[in-house]
Amino acid sequence: MSRTTAARCLQGITVLDFTWAAVGPYATFLLRALGADVIRIESPLRSHLRRVTAGFYADLNAPKTSVLLDVTTPRGVDLALRLAEHADVAVDNYRAGVMERLGLGEQALRARNPRLVVVSATAMGATGPEAAFGGYAPVFSALGGLAQLTGYPDAPPTELRHPVDFALGALVAAVTVAALLRRQATGRGTYVDLSCREGATQLVGESLIDFQLTGRAPERAGNDDAIMAPHGVYPARGDDEWVSVAVSSDEEWCALARAIGRPELADDPSLGDAFLRWQRRAELDDLLTAWTRERPAVEAATRLQEAGVAAAPSLSARGLFEDEHLAARRFASTRRRGGAETTTIGVPWRLSGMQAKVAAGPGPAKARQAVFGGLLGLSPAEIRALRKDGVIG
């Protein structure tokens, strides 16, 4: 029995990509990886960020069909609306109100195509008193209450960027697919208003519940856990090498004590339950550090895992590439094209059968022809005239 792959599960779906920065481009990157045709509308709007983050930008957008279209001109807007007639999905992540001012708001787009799924991922959401405020990931992390909880107890909150951008990009892709499922059932498109700061808050919901029921206001606690101890990142042998250990039960504590050559601690009644260990967590951290310092991170983690303790090396970016487990799961793929090697990070799921594929998109001339000639049926003369007037590139 063959189980068909989802690699092409969005085949035949056309996505109009009005996104910039990271949340939106990552969302449409995932949709592309799942097989959608993504038409990326590059416009003079917000071009500064592209220059600041060129490599990063290229990586997320390379697989898409990119065209230059000046949506700040009436003719550019008209072309974008005509493209909407041929699309299934439109995604943007400008601040609330920007697409409306351009004449490309959800109502204008859906008036052209009632089957269109429009997803707007704004910093604050499209409604509410702060709707018009924009921001990048550090802003939604700060407003979402996530940054305030991340960091050392004695230092300012941590600037969080890509882990938050990419998590929200994945959420945007998920709601887009959910909206497409709904369209299959109802035949109608929909408009999805997604708030990035709410996306950050949902990740720390536990702290809100805890505060309301116990009155304890959680603060930055480094690597300390509210219940588990030892729970932390411990230095291993070598420069900037670390191993993470989390002990969640009495059984794991005893296994840890034996594995680090201190079996007497397993029988010590003053460390006999989670709360007793938690109260003496600083002392236990020192004890464990004395053991981890003597060994490479992978060896320390493997020995603890063999004993039945949750432990892992803290991998760096290079470590991710060298890790045999991730390699076995085809986390990244490297292709050779001409003389150059390109490495692409895949999707966060391992789909049975095969991996979702990301290949380079067409060059500018081919993309222009495919979108304006192929999809909109413009003649070569019309395309030349639009280029001459600077409406398209």
Partner 1 sequence: MAETARALPLSGSRVVELGTDLAAPYCARLLARFGADVIKIERPPLGDPLRRAGPFPDGRQDPEHGALFLALNAGKRSATIDVTTPTGRGLLDELLAKADVLVENLPAPEADAIGLTEETLGARHPHLVHVPVTHYGRTGPYREWRGAPLTASAMGGVSVGIGRPGGRPLTMPFSLGAYQAGLAAAAGAVVGLLARRRTGSGQTVDVAEMQVWGTVHTGANILTYLYLGVTGIRQGNRGIGLYPNEFLPCKDGFICLTCTPLHHWIAFLDCMGQPEWAENPRYRNRRAMLEEYPEEVDALLVPWLRGHTRDELFAMAREKRFPLAPGMTVADTLENEHLHARGFFDELAVDGASVRVPGVPSRFSGLEPEAPTAAPSLGADTASVVCELLGRTPETLTQLRRAEIV
Judged by CB under 8 A, the chain residues 199 through 258 that form the site for partner 1 are: 199, 201-214, 217-218, 220-223, 225, 228, 231-233, 235, 240, 242-246, 248, 252
Pick from 15, 3, 4, 10: nearest CA to 41: 15
**In angstroms, what is the minimal distance from the CB of 389 to partner 1?**
27
Amino acid, res. 176: T
User: What tokens were used for 143?
Assistant: 């407003």
Q: Is residue 278 within the footprint of partner 1 (CB under 8 A)?
A: no
How far is the C-alpha of 185 from the C-alpha of 183, rounded, in Å?
5
**Residue 186 binds partner 1, judged by CB under 8 A:** yes
For partner 1, the closer of residues 179 and 386 by Cβ is: 179
- Among 313, 368, 375, 378, interactor with partner 1 by CB under 8 A: 313
Neighbours of 327 (CB within 10 A): 12
Least distance (Å) between residue 66 CB and partner 1:
19
Residue 275 is a binding residue for partner 1 (CB under 8 A): no
Residue 118, strand partner residues: 90, 191
Task: Give me the sheet containing 242-246, strands edge to edge.
Answer: 231-235, 242-246, 310-313
- Indicate the SS3 state at residue 129: coil
Minimum CB distance to partner 1 smaller for 159 or for 389: 159
Residues 6+ apart with CB under 8 A from 266: 253, 254, 257, 258
d(CA 393, CA 209): 52
Is residue 81 a contact point for partner 1 (CB under 8 A)? no
For partner 1, the closer of residues 208 and 359 by Cβ is 208
Pairing of strands 190-195, 117-122: parallel
One-letter amino acid for residue 119 of the chain: V
Segment interacting with partner 1, rule: CB under 8 A, options 263-271, 276-284, 344-352, 369-377: 344-352
Structure tokens at 260: 């680090």
Residue 287 vs 345, nearer CB to partner 1:
345
- Binding of partner 1 by 264 (CB under 8 A): no
340 part of the interface to partner 1, by CB under 8 A: no
Classify burial at 314, counting beta carbons within 10 Å of its beta carbon; exposed 0-12, middle 13-18, buried 19 or more: middle
Nearer to partner 1, 85 or 130 (CB): 130
Q: Which of residues 40-59 bind partner 1 (CB under 8 A)?
A: 48-49, 52-53, 55-56, 59
CA distances for 76 relative to 95, 118, 372, angstroms: 20, 19, 12
Instruction: Based on the shown chain and the rule CB under 8 A, indicate whether residue 4 belongs to the binding site for partner 1.
Output: yes
Please identify which residue in 74, 270, 290, 349 interacts with partner 1, judged by CB under 8 A.
349
- Decide if 313 contacts 236 (C-beta within 8 A): yes
CB 173 within 8 A of CB 27: yes
Question: Closest distance between partner 1 and the C-beta of residue 37, in Å?
Answer: 15
Stretch that binds partner 1, among 82-90, 163-171, 358-366, 374-382 (CB under 8 A): 163-171
CB neighbours of 230 closer than 8 A, spacing ≥ 6?
245, 246, 247, 256, 277, 281, 284, 285, 288
- 325 interacts with partner 1 by CB under 8 A: yes
Cβ proximity to partner 1, 111 vs 360, nearer residue: 111
d(CA 63, CA 52): 20
Query: If binding is defined by CB under 8 A, does position 22 make contact with partner 1?
Result: yes
Could you say whether residue 388 binds partner 1 (CB under 8 A)? Answer: no
| Minimum CB distance to partner 1, residue 218 (Å) | 6
Partnered with residue 342 across adjacent β-strands are 335
- How many CB atoms lie under 10 A from the CB of residue 334? 9
The binder of partner 1 chosen from 38, 87, 96, 171 (CB under 8 A)? 171
Q: Among residues 44, 151, 373, 393, which is the contact residue for partner 1, using CB under 8 A? A: 151
Burial-class residue 268 by CB neighbours within 10 Å (0-12, 13-18, 19+): exposed
Q: Which residue of 180, 271, 284, 391 would you call a contact of partner 1, by CB under 8 A?
A: 180
Q: C-beta of 379: minimal distance to partner 1 in Å? A: 34
Residue 173 found at the interface with partner 1 (CB under 8 A): yes
Contact positions with partner 1 (CB under 8 A) in 89-148: 106-107, 110-111, 114, 124-125, 127-136, 138-148
235 or 373: whose CB is closer to partner 1? Answer: 235
